[in-house]
């Protein structure tokens, strides 16, 4: 059997995890990651990495829940192993609070996280402008540590790395048999998908080691996510904004909103501003496409458009992407079926 040559475009959390899944699940394949940016310069590196899913409009809830559950279980077993620190994964408890009672009082992912329950009145007392809340334990996946760890795992599986900006998927033919497009926001240009747009997010990374819980406003606009090396304060959701430079006014606003929820943050020090452009799309695109041009063929698996929810579903999606790659690989290996592509 010939080795199937797989190229994964994009080295964020989606690209790396997809590459690792492919290396583990697809028999007789070689995996090469090709990207112009690697950690710590990817969009994923800016994300706080908290596991709280964002509902996608057009994907069945059962599928979203499965992706989240698979990601949660996968990271959960890492968190209780000795690898946890190297992978940057740890348990985190906290509260999601609402200024008015939400229509959906129990979200679809409530039984995936740990110990989910409504907040008590005594717990809500410290948030005087909020009337309802959830308390639960979830996982935090510190991307700046997780991504290098994924890279190491990929190397262990014989994965190769290429730093290069891909302008057109056809550049990768005939060197590769299957291309997995995990280029996130880059898909707008790479495959001409105008449904992809940036959702600009600005955050602050501060030193406040006494903060042990996450606090998230139900709208998702204001949040406090403590990690192993800093606390992430956020944020913004600016659709269509491509500006990667931090805005000082926005930083002040974020800090002020977060201090309103957690006054002790006023003593936080060492503030770093960061900006990331989320790969916005009405839904995640996770599907095969058989490209043909001038008698050449290229199997593509698209895997992008995760918006704000990439980390929360990355592993479940990566498993699905690997299954699709496997289907492509089997089709390539069956000569009778090649003409069907």
Partner 1 sequence: MRVVVIGAGVIGLSTALCIYERYHSILQSLDLKVYADRFTPLTNTDVAAGLWQPYLSGPSNPQEMAWNQQTFDYLLSHIYSPNAEKMGLALISGYNLFHEAVPDPFWKNIVLGFRKLTPRELDVFPDYSYGWFHTSLIIEGKSYLEWLTERLTERGVKFFQRKVESLEEVARGGVDVIINCTGVWAGALQPDPLLQPGRGQIIKVNAPWIKHFIVTHNLKSGIYTSPYIIPGMQTVTLGGINQLGNWSEINSTQDHNTIWEGCCRLEPTLKNARIAGEHTGFRPVRPQLRLERDQLRVGSASTEVIHNYGHGGYGLTIHWGCALEAANLFGKILEEKELYRMPPSHL
Residues making up the annotated binding site for FAD are 43-44, 166
Least CB distance from residue 114 to partner 1, whole Å? 5
Q: Is 272 in the site for partner 1 (CB under 8 A)?
A: no
The one segment of 51-59, 63-71, 78-86, 174-182 that binds partner 1 by CB under 8 A: 78-86
Nearer to partner 1, 252 or 267 (CB): 267
The one segment of 112-120, 146-154, 319-327, 332-340 that binds partner 1 by CB under 8 A: 112-120
- H-type helices in the chain, by residue range? 13-25, 61-79, 84-87, 121-124, 143-156, 187-190, 248-261, 310-333, 335-338
Nearer to partner 1, 123 or 189 (CB): 123
Least CB distance from residue 21 to partner 1, whole Å? 24
Least CB distance from residue 127 to partner 1, whole Å? 10
Closest alpha carbon to 142 in 184, 216, 85, 195? 85
Contact 335, 43 (CB under 8 A): no
Q: Is 120 in the site for partner 1 (CB under 8 A)?
A: yes
Q: What are the CA-CA distances from residue 268 to residues 37, 93, 234, 259 (Å)?
A: 31, 20, 14, 10
The one segment of 45-53, 110-118, 243-251, 287-295 that binds partner 1 by CB under 8 A: 110-118
Side-chain half-sphere CA neighbours of 97 within 13 A: 25
Residues within the annotated binding site? 43-44, 166, 223, 278
Least CB distance from residue 102 to partner 1, whole Å? 19
Contact 337, 326 (CB under 8 A): no
Burial 179-202 (b: 16+ CB within 10 A, else e): bbbbbbbbbbebbebeebbbbbbb
Which of 69, 74, 90, 200 binds partner 1 (CB under 8 A)? It is 90
Q: Is 131 in the site for partner 1 (CB under 8 A)?
A: no
Contact 29, 159 (CB under 8 A): no
Terminal-to-terminal C-alpha distance of the chain: 19
Contacts of 260 (CB under 8 A, 6+ apart): none
Which of 229, 287, 334, 338 binds partner 1 (CB under 8 A)? It is 229
Nearer to partner 1, 97 or 298 (CB): 97
Q: Is 212 in the site for partner 1 (CB under 8 A)?
A: yes
SS3 of 250, please? helix
Residues within the annotated binding site for D-dopa? 223, 278
Q: Which of residues 133-162 bind partner 1 (CB under 8 A)?
A: 135, 137
Q: Is 211 in the site for partner 1 (CB under 8 A)?
A: yes
In sequence order, the β-bridge partners of residue 305 are none
CA 296 to chain centre: 33
Nearer to partner 1, 158 or 263 (CB): 263
Could you count the other beta carbons within 10 Å of the beta carbon of residue 242?
Answer: 10
Q: What is the dihedral of CA 89, 304, 16, 199, to 10 degrees?
A: -50
Least CB distance from residue 209 to partner 1, whole Å? 6
Q: Is 85 in the site for partner 1 (CB under 8 A)?
A: yes
Q: Is 256 in the site for partner 1 (CB under 8 A)?
A: no
Number of residues located near partner 1, criterion CB under 8 A: 35
Q: What is the contact surface with partner 1 in residues (CB under 8 A)?
A: 76, 80-82, 84-86, 90-93, 114-115, 117, 119-120, 122-123, 126, 135, 137, 208-213, 226-229, 263-264, 266-267
């Amino acid at each position: 059997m010939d080795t199937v040559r797989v190229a994964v475009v994009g080295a964020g959390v989606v690209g790396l995890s997809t590459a690792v899944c492919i290396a583990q699940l697809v028999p007789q394949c070689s995996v090469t990651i090709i990207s112009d940016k690697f950690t710590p310069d990817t969009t994923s590196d800016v994300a706080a990495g908290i596991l709280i899913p964002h509902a996608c409009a057009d994907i069945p809830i059962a599928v979203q829940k499965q992706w989240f559950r698979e990601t949660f279980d996968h990271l959960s077993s890492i968190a209780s192993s000795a690898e946890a620190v190297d992978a940057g994964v740890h348990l985190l408890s906290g509260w999601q609070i609402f200024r008015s009672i939400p229509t959906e009082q129990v979200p679809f992912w409530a039984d995936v996280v740990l110990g989910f329950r409504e907040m008590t009145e005594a717990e809500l007392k410290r948030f005087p402008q909020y009337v309802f809340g959830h308390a639960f334990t979830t996982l935090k996946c510190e991307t700046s540590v997780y991504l290098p760890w994924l890279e190491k795992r990929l190397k262990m599986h014989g994965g190769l790395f290429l730093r290069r900006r891909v302008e057109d998927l056809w550049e990768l033919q005939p060197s590769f048999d299957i291309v997995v497009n995990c280029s996130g926001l880059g898909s707008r240009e790479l495959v001409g998908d105008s449904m992809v747009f940036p959702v600009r997010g600005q955050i602050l990374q501060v030193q406040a080691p006494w903060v042990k819980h996450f606090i998230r406003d139900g709208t998702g606009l204001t949040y406090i996510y403590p990690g192993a090396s800093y606390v992430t304060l956020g944020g913004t959701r600016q659709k269509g904004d491509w500006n990667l430079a931090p805005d000082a006014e926005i930083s002040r606003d974020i800090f002020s909103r977060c201090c309103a929820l957690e006054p002790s943050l006023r003593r936080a020090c060492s503030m770093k501003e960061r900006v990331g452009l989320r790969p916005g799309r009405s839904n995640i695109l996770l599907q095969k496409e058989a490209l043909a041009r001038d008698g050449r063929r290229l199997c593509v698996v698209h895997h992008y458009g995760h918006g704000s929810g990439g980390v929360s579903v990355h592993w479940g999606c990566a498993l699905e992407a690997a299954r699709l790659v496997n289907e492509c690989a089997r089709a390539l290996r069956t000569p009778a079926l090649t003409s069907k592509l």
